[in-house]
Amino acid sequence: MRNYSKLGGTEVDYQEMRMLGRTQQLNRNVRFISTLGFACTLMSTWEIALMTSFFGLINGGTACLVWGYFIVWLGYMLVFATIAEMASMAPTSGGHCQKFVSYLVGWTSVLGWQTGLASLAFLVGTMIGGLLVLDNHNYVFERWHGTLLVIAITAFCIIFNTVLARKLPMVEGLVLIIHILRFLAVLIPLWVLAPRNSPKVVFPNSAVHMAEEIKDASIVLPRAIIIVFEILETPTHYPFIQVFYNVTQSKAGTSIMTAIIIVNITSACISTVATVSRQTWSFARDKGLPLPSFIAHVKPGWNIPLNVVLLTFAITNLLSLINIGSTVAFNAIGSLAVSAILGTYIISFSLGSAGIFINIGAVCFLLVVWVFIFFPIEKEVIAETMNWNVVMFCGTMIFAVVYNLVIGKKKYTAPVDLVKRELYGLLRYCLGIIS
């Protein structure tokens, strides 16, 4: 009990961990505001929507971006309702890992988060490269430049998760406030400076059918249809950077607005390092990974999974080297991260009386998204446009199955087994008192 007090735990935390068959090893120094800030910066909804707008624009246009946002928001509300209940039932770092199915879920989750960090750091690095191209048209952004930026950004995030780990909750709380203010800092200039358009302009195909009701239709109509494709040809490789420049007509203003996005996504990288390290540590603690004793070791005095943090740094650096050989292969990392994480969410759990409907809706939504995640982004598929995510995902799953058959099934302990063991022990204890 004293150990829990030293690590910042409460009586409720102690009882919950005991029921789950766990021993507290990490500091409990994160409260509600810090947790909310952590979640908001990790999700980075509006920032990611801007950064990934390219894919929506070439696969449906502006209408796809607008309506797709609301459809995805509704689908993920069902998914997060399920996840929230699971977190309430079993608040451990492993999440919903429960023997063989839970083992695959654990591997899939580790795969998703590890590759997700590399993908997120790569987005930050390429945005920096986009700004350099905007400010200096003679600059050529080489692939190895992106790799070095990924390593530098990840190293910066590692510092916050090791040396400054005790300050991380305070940082997350501050970032929440800054996250909201930065949204306004980007939105207001766009709102004030951008030209006003009819809602019909957002939906190019609909605009054609409204030609007789559009003022100066011969000019406005083709401009509305073509402008989307002009933005896609930006040398910065990020349409939102070109939009910022078109609106402000200022390289300095564009750089400041883009820098806001870069700082926000870097904050998300810091949160992602914390998430992926705890998730990997939890799965290694269940002996689901090779070298579990080393990976799950928590150094006394640090009270953080230092070995996993450093391992995560090494994995991200190795993944970033793929970009030097092939940008196409590295781009598949981002798709792999999404498909792996969504794959873990497809396993449903109870949500009470409404649970069956929420679970059905969540699983149906995830199945559709999960299938399309493996699709290439262009109609004509060649080596350069192939989505190699399916190869990486299946390769990792095959390795996980083989490892489980050879080693894993002898060592791996599913979280539910620990719960049953602990409950059985408590039952025997209570029966002993009664007798």
> Quick check: 111 pLDDT over 50?
yes
| Confidence label for 31 from pLDDT (cuts 50, 70 and 90) | low
Run of H or E including 350: none
Q: How far apart, in whole angstroms, are the C-alpha atoms of residue 182 and residue 166?
A: 25
Mean pLDDT across the chain: 74
In a domain, residue 404? The reply is: yes
Query: Residue 261's domain spans which residues?
Result: 31-434
pLDDT at 156 over 90: yes
Q: b/e map of 388-426 (b: 16 or more CB within 10 Å)? A: bbbebbeebbeebeebbeeebeeebebbeebbeebeeee
- Measured between its terminal Cα atoms, the distance across the chain in Å is 27
Confidence of residue 318 (pLDDT cuts 50, 70, 90): very high
Residue owning tokens 């999440």: 95
Once rounded to an integer, what is the mean pLDDT over residues 382-411? 81
Q: What is the DSSP string of 14-32?
A: HHHHHHTT----S-----H
- HSE at residue 195, side-chain half, CA atoms within 13 A, is 10
Tell me, yes or no, whether 6 lies in a domain: no
Cα 250–251–256 angle (5° rounding)?
100
Query: In the beta sheet, which residues pair with residue 351?
Result: 353
In this prediction, residue 335 carries a pLDDT of 74
pLDDT-based confidence at residue 211 (cuts at 50, 70, 90): very low
Q: Are 96 and 386 in contact (CB under 8 A)?
A: no
What's the CATH code of the domain at 59? 1.20.1740.10
pLDDT at residue number 148: 93
Instruction: Please determine, for residue 126, whether its predicted confidence score (pLDDT) is greater than 80.
Output: yes
Closest CA to 22 of 421, 431, 429, 344: 421
Contact (CB, 8 A) for 47 and 264: yes
Residue appearing with tokens 């991200």: 316
Domains identified in the chain, total number: 1
Closest-CA residue to 209 (of 227, 229, 224, 230): 224
Domain membership flag for residue 3? no
Q: Both tokens of residue 152?
A: 């530098």
Give strand ranges (E) for 37-114: none
Q: Residues 214, 198: contact at Cβ < 8 Å? A: yes
Q: Which residue has the tokens 């003679």?
A: 138
Contact (Cβ atoms closer than 8 angstroms) between residue 86 and residue 349? yes
Higher pLDDT pick, 247 / 210: 247
Alpha-carbon gap, residue 20 to 74, rounded angstroms: 32
Q: Which of 81-85, 158-162, 386-390 has the highest mean pLDDT?
A: 158-162
Q: Is residue 156 part of a domain?
A: yes
Tell me the whole-structure pTM to 2 decimals.
0.70
- The residue whose two tokens read 């078109």 is 246
- Please report, as a single letter, which amino acid is at residue 312: T
Q: Residue 139 above 90 pLDDT?
A: no
For residues 303-320, give the mean pLDDT: 89
For residue 283, tell me if it sits in a domain. Answer: yes
Residue 213 confidence (pLDDT): 45
Summarize pLDDT for 57-108 with one digit per residue, the tens. Answer: 667 667 777 777 788 888 878 877 776 666 555 544 444 445 677 788 888 8
Cα–Cα nearest to 99, from 375, 404, 370: 404
Asked if the model's pLDDT at residue 300 lies above 60, the reply is yes
Q: Which two tokens stand for residue 253?
A: 């203003």
pLDDT value of residue 88:
55
